[in-house]
Amino acid sequence: MYTEEEIETQKRKAQKWDELEEKIAVCYGRENEDGEWEENNDENIDLCTIGEIAASAFEWL
């Protein structure tokens, strides 16, 4: 059985992972209003950018 404190800790961690997923997913693209996938064609987004987003989430940068 988990304590309330342990449950809250896991909820906070899950929220952080969900937020990180959303930030990185935008780099690849997103669904438009019609539900169709649109790639992100921003030339400023590359694997380095995605790495920086991830590193920032872990407070390594």
DSSP codes, 3-61: -HHHHHHHHHHHHHHHHHHHHHHHHHEEE-TTS-EEE---TT-SHHHHHHHHHHHTT--
Task: List the structure tokens of 55.
Answer: 């590193």
Domain membership of residue 55 (yes or no) is yes
Residue 60 domain boundaries: 37-61
At CB < 8 A and 24+ separation, what contacts does 47-52 make? 50/24
Give me the pLDDT at residue 9, please: 97
pLDDT digits (tens, 9 = 90+) for 3-53: 999 999 999 999 999 999 999 999 999 888 898 989 988 888 999 999 999
Domain membership of residue 26 (yes or no) is no
Domain membership of residue 19 (yes or no) is no
Domain membership of residue 18 (yes or no) is no
Give me the pLDDT at residue 30, please: 87
Number of domains in the chain: 1
Model confidence, pTM: 0.74
Give me the pLDDT at residue 10, please: 97
